[in-house]
Structure 1
Amino acid sequence: MLSQQIATIVAAAGESGHEELAPLVAPPFVIGAAMFAVLLLLMFITLSYSNLGRRHTAVEEHSDPHRQHPNKHDHGQGH
């Protein structure tokens, strides 16, 4: 039964003939080069933000009892 269904699907696919491909706006290598250039630009933009964490020295956060959600991970050392 399964082999009959497979044979029917293969025969139907063979009868459809040659389908015409959709036209492209440019040759494939131009599309690939444009995609590569865009991703390269995004990588350089991402790397330009990598120094934001190294601008200043880290400052210890003070314990504020009036915060709505205080940091409870200091185990009372901040008081």
Structure 2
Amino acid sequence: MARVLLFGPLRDLAGWRDRRIEAGSIEALRAAIADEDAELARALAGPGVQVAVDQQVVRRDVALSTGSEVAFLPPMSGG
């Protein structure tokens, strides 16, 4: 079971910041979230949203293990 963290407007949209969700990969995790909340799933797939697994940004589907921490990071701006 992965620990899922949401930040900023993603957290506000979901109404939660931290949950445990059963999933074996990032894509399976996205599918599990989509089953519960289609609007959140669309936001997580939006431009600029980054995914970090165990505090490392990933750009592709990766396997998750029990205890993995997955953070969805909203688009950043600034200079």
Q: TM-score, normalised by structure 2?
A: 0.18
Higher percent of residues as strand = 2
By relative contact order (CA 8 Å, sep 6+), the higher-ranking structure is 2
Q: TM-score, normalised by structure 1?
A: 0.18
Higher percent of residues as helix = 1
